[in-house]
Amino acid sequence: MLNRKTSHFLGMKVQSELEHLSELRREAGKDRISVRGSAARTRASVRTQSTAAAAAAKADEDPGANLFPPPLPRPRICMWKYLDIHSMHQLEKTTSAEEMRQVLAELLELGCPEQSLRDAITLDLFCHALIFCRQQGFSLEQTSAACALLQDLHKACIATPLGNVEECYHYFTSVLFCHGVRRPPFSIDLFKEEQLLALEDYVVNTYFRHFKLYKYVFTPQVRLDLSLTYMGLQPPKLWPESETEKEASKEVEEQAVTPQEEELETVAPPEPEPSHVHILRAYIKTQMNKELEELQRLVEEQLKASEERLSSKLTALERPFQLPPGKGKSKTK
């Protein structure tokens, strides 16, 4: 009896140890899978970072990769962004426009406006903006925010030589509303409604009306080189010159030709065109003739229809005016 109980107890103990070992193996397997997954994710993140860095380096090396306008920054509160309280006090002490220009050139770190056209335009832009703020009676905070708003708009304009006037106007209105509605920390009620409308009208009439001029001065010029290739046509082949032709051309270049000899020279006959160019020219000519004939026919039909309408109106006017029956007779009772 004791032997049976001990054997049963040993069997239960062995079974529990086996189950414990199997659980340990499962946990070890899960740990391996998690380690492999984390390693794979790490490799993937490293790969994506390397590809992103390579793409950025390629975009920096290739200027043609930045053909699309860059994204505009998010609209934020821009009070004391470029002109702080000390700068505004310096500008407030100025008594003349020339003194204001000198102080503003120092604050904006403009090199020499007399020699640089861009610096002179930037200085004029902000000087007139400060004069407008004084005329409207803006406070120091409002003047600083208005100048910062104009500076951010100017940066968005000159960020690309491509046309982005609609995007810049949307950005300008968004930044403007960030200073007209009390919704901290996203916007504040710095300007009143009348001041917002006055500032918007000023920027539209002074900056957006000359938007293309600012873009022309502050951005590089973009040229488009367009080349057309016709499918199915081979490019013309350049025949190599022979040695005798080269020697003859050299002798002609060395000899000086007088004006009288130039007048006596006969015009060389034009070289025959290749066959595919001749076929293409003939095809274009026939298509153009067909289009011209169709346009001429349409114009003639319209002229004829207009003449018929005019003649019908003239005949109607030439007829004597007649009253309809029953209108001219008086009714007697």
- The span from the CA of 109 to the CA of 97, in Å, is 18
Tell me the two tokens of residue 75.
């609209």
Q: Is 60 exceeded by the pLDDT of residue 331?
A: no
Pick the more confident residue, 156 or 318: 156
pLDDT band at 50 (very low <50, low <70, confident <90, very high): very low
pLDDT at 149 over 90: yes
What does the pLDDT read at residue 319?
Answer: 72
User: Per-residue pLDDT for 39 more than 90?
Assistant: no
State residue 108's pLDDT score: 86
Q: Each residue of 167-200: pLDDT tens digit? A: 999 999 999 989 988 888 888 889 999 999 999 9
Confidence of residue 57 (pLDDT cuts 50, 70, 90): very low
Instruction: Specify the residue for token string 């407030």.
Output: 92
At residue 131, does pLDDT exceed 90? yes
- How far apart, in whole angstroms, are the C-alpha atoms of residue 106 and residue 301? 72
Q: HSE-up of 49 (CA within 13 Å, CB side)?
A: 6
Mean predicted confidence (pLDDT) in 211-217 = 91
pLDDT of 26 reads 66
Confidence of residue 142 (pLDDT cuts 50, 70, 90): very high
The answer on pLDDT for 132 being more than 90 is yes
- pLDDT computed for residue 174 by the predictor: 92
Query: What tokens appear for 283 in the block?
Result: 């095809």
Confidence of residue 235 (pLDDT cuts 50, 70, 90): low
pLDDT of residue 200: 92
User: b or e along 230-261 (b: 16 or more beta carbons within 10 Å of the residue's beta carbon)?
Assistant: eeeeeeeeeeeeeeeeeeeeeeeeeeeeeeee
Q: Which of the four pLDDT bands, split at 50, 70 and 90, describes residue 248?
A: low
Q: What is the pLDDT of residue 283?
A: 87
More confident residue, 156 or 31: 156
| % of the chain surpassing 70 pLDDT | 62
Q: In the predicted model, what is the mean pLDDT of residues 46-56?
A: 46
